[in-house]
Amino acid sequence: MLHQQIDQKISEKEAWALRRQVGIPNNKRLWVLACMDERLPVEKALGIGEGDAHIFRNAGGLVTDDAIRSAMLTTQFFGTKEIIVINHTECGMMTASGDFLSEVLRNQGIDVDQVTVDPALPELKLPKGVFSKWIKTFTDVDEICIQQVELLRNF
């Protein structure tokens, strides 16, 4: 009996680990774009559990090249049918402008005009003067949420 229970648990863990290879999508066929803020309990807020969604988090919960890459993969290859965008008040991306952050970094000796966008592709660099926009700060959480939804909808 115990041997059968152990075999069952091993089989369940193997099925979980191999779900992509056998074509099993996340449970809710859901992709979530949310801020990385640790105060934001995404699963709890949405009433979902482990395996229910692909959750992509970044500073501000903003559509970036990597967010688009991840959304494309999950919708085109992993069976995702729905996308949710979660932005929140008191977000750190609302506390300073891109110009201010650029100036702080310059004062620390960082050349924001030579930022490598992807360390694996050092040839990808931001054009001079674009860093302040690329960092994507914002002041209105409702407006930025609408913008993120539209960016994803129109991509």
What does the pLDDT look like over 69-111, one tens digit per residue? 999 999 999 999 999 999 999 999 999 999 999 999 999 999 9
* Contact by Cβ (8 Å): 87, 136: no
Where along the chain do its domains lie?
Answer: 25-153
CATH placement of domain 25-153:
3.40.1050.10
Q: What's phi and psi for 54, nearest 5 deg? A: -90, 125
Order of strands across the sheet that contains 82-86: 53-58, 30-35, 82-86
pLDDT score for 24? 78
Give 114: exposed, middle or buried? Use CB within 10 Å, 0-12, 13-18, 19+.
Answer: exposed
The 3-state secondary structure of the chain, one letter per residue: CHHHHHHHHHHHHHHHHCCCCCCCCCCCCEEEEEECCCCCCHHHHHCCCCCCEEEEEECCCCCCHHHHHHHHHHHHHCCCCEEEEECCCCCHHHCCCHHHHHHHHHHCCCCHHHCECCCCCCCCECCCCCHHHHCCCCCCHHHHHHHHHHHHHCC
Q: Is the pLDDT of residue 15 over 90?
A: no
For the residues 116-131, what does the mean pLDDT come to? 90
**pTM, 2 dp:** 0.85
Q: Is the pLDDT of residue 152 over 90?
A: yes
d(CA 67, CA 87): 14
pLDDT-based confidence at 5, cuts 50/70/90?
A: confident
Pair of tokens at residue 47: 């009433």
